């Protein structure tokens, strides 16, 4: 089964439709499969550009399965017209990810016996059915289903449906060749009560095969609605485990927040051992897991919040005006190309911890924040003054503090961490530190 990294999904129900770390996602919609194929949601990303009630939503997911079996069902607030849907460039999502990714920052300690100097080098984080017996076919009217709109965009065939009850919608999808995940009927019903429509997209194989693309592209949807929400409940139908969702919210105002769950900042600005540079992906996943558990598994983490005009430090160049337009920031003009504030949120969710769809609000808070982790290179030269010898004697304490911080953030064994710490010449250690170091390396 081929993995298609960039997936279309268009959940544009309320402003935002739809959420780690690289895999696990099913946010606002659920996948449906034909025949015996089983589809699994993995990591998902969505970019939401919103100004007032006007929203541009771009969504891309990881999808496992044969492309011929791909389909998506997403609640939407209005009947979408063909000119409100387009295929997007996956590179835009990649640029948003690179710009807002958690990052390492490296500092180099100066020679304590010489004039102070400092240089910096910034590194970006790597960045998480079987066929049923045929039943008598029922008419759309008998099922309470209306085909409101039908069109094709790029490699996708799209249908917009309305329904009076979830059983009829489920039957319609089944009759039209889609296998509905178990439990979908119950989750569809609340959206029907809200009189939402349903966006159904599947791949046009002939168009896809002639397009030359190796993966399905994201879909971009534009709409106007006072609802600023992310429908994640349908996405839990396919979930094999907790789902990770990364949301990039672009606004001319300031930070975005989740209103019906707590919004907290990911742990940041911690000084950690130098060896983590080669294990950053493992570190960040462990750190996020630990924070997720400590916060009760029902919060939205802010990983980045900054004006697009700059960053300090930058893990990638800010997006250009053209790239921001492609990301949906329709208010950007050549005169004000950087009037965009980006909030990156990471939500890991399960049905029991997130019983409601995500509801967002925009704020005027333009305070900057980034998930950043500090690596400090010790000066390794021979000390030539008293200050240099004092500096050397301080290093074991500094390394131990870094080790304790890393253990607290990740839950990793402090003993294992100590085994990887750099060695300091014992002649610069107090006698008790020499004893402790010997014990650490003997155990």
- Can you give the residue ranges of every domain in the chain? 3-104+123-372, 379-442
Q: Percentage of the chain surpassing pLDDT 90?
A: 41
What are the tokens at 185?
Answer: 């009927």
Nearest to 10 by CA among 47, 42, 51, 38: 47
pLDDT band of 153, cuts 50, 70, 90: very high
Say whether pLDDT at 439 is over 70: no
Q: How confident is the model at residue 162 (pLDDT cuts 50, 70, 90)?
A: very high
Q: What integer pLDDT is reported at residue 423 of this predicted model?
A: 77
Query: Does residue 162 sit in helix, strand or coil?
Result: strand
Q: Listing from the earlier edge strand, what are the strands of the sheet with 197-203?
A: 30-31, 71-76, 197-203, 156-163, 145-153
* Averaged pLDDT, 269-297: 94
- pLDDT of 257 reads 97
Question: So what's the pLDDT on residue 18?
Answer: 34
Residue 9 has pLDDT above 50, yes or no: no
For the four alpha carbons of 293, 294, 297 and 300, in that order, the dihedral sign comes to negative
Instruction: Give the pLDDT confidence score for residue 36 in this predicted structure.
Output: 36
CA angle 246, 251, 252 (to 5 degrees): 160
CA 314 remoteness from chain centre: 19
Distance separating the N- and C-terminal Cα atoms of the chain: 46
From residue 157, give the alpha-carbon distance in Å to each of 72, 99, 149, 152, 350.
Answer: 11, 32, 11, 4, 30
216 token code pair:
């399905």
Flag whether pLDDT at 427 surpasses 60.
no
**Contact 156/87 with Cβ under 8 angstroms?**
yes
pLDDT, tens digit (0-9, with 9 covering 90-100), for 205-234: 888 888 877 778 899 999 999 999 888 887
Cβ(217)–Cβ(6) below 8 Å: yes
183's tokens = 């439990």
Which pLDDT score is estimated for 333? Answer: 81
Averaged pLDDT, 327-331: 94
């Amino acid at each position: 089964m081929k993995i298609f990294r960039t997936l279309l999904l268009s959940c544009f129900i309320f402003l935002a439709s739809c959420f780690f770390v690289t895999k696990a996602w099913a946010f606002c919609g659920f996948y449906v499969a034909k025949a015996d194929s089983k589809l699994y949601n993995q990591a998902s990303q969505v970019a939401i550009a919103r100004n007032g009630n006007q929203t541009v939503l771009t969504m891309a997911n990881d999808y496992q399965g044969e492309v011929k079996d791909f389909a998506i069902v997403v609640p939407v607030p209005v009947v979408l017209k063909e000119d409100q849907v387009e295929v997007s460039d996956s590179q835009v999502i990649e640029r948003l990810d690179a710009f807002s990714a958690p990052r390492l920052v490296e500092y180099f300690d100066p020679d304590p016996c010489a004039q102070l100097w400092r240089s910096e080098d910034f590194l970006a984080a790597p960045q998480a059915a079987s066929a049923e017996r045929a039943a008598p076919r029922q008419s759309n009217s008998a099922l309470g289903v209306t085909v409101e709109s039908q069109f094709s965009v790029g490699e996708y065939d799209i249908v917009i449906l309305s329904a009076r009850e979830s059983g009829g919608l489920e039957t319609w999808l089944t009759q039209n060749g889609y296998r509905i995940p178990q439990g979908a009927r119950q989750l569809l019903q609340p959206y029907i009560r809200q009189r939402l429509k349903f966006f159904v997209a599947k791949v046009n194989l002939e168009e896809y095969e002639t397009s030359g693309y190796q993966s399905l592209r994201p879909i971009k949807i534009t709409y106007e609605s006072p609802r600023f929400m992310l429908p994640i409940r349908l996405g839990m139908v396919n979930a094999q485990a907790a789902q990770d969702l990364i949301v990039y919210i672009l606004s001319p105002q300031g930070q975005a927040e989740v209103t019906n769950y707590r919004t907290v900042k990911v742990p940041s600005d911690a000084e950690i051992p130098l060896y983590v540079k080669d294990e950053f992906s493992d570190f960040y996943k462990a750190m996020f897991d630990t924070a997720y558990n400590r916060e009760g598994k029902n919060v939205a983490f802010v990983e980045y919040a900054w004006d697009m005009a700059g960053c300090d430090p930058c893990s990638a160049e800010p997006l250009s005006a053209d790239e921001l337009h492609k990301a949906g920031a329709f208010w950007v003009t050549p005169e004000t190309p950087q009037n965009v504030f980006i909030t990156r949120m990471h939500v890991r969710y399960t049905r029991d911890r997130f019983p409601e769809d995500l509801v967002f609000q925009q704020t005027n808070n333009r305070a900057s924040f980034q998930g950043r982790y500090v690596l400090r290179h010790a000066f390794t030269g021979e000390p030539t003054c008293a200050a240099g010898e004092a500096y050397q004697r301080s290093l074991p304490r500094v390394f131990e503090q870094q080790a304790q911080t890393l253990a607290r953030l990740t839950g990793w064994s402090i003993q294992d961490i100590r085994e990887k710490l750099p060695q300091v010449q014992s002649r610069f250690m107090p006698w008790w530190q020499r004893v402790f170091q010997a014990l650490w390396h003997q155990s």
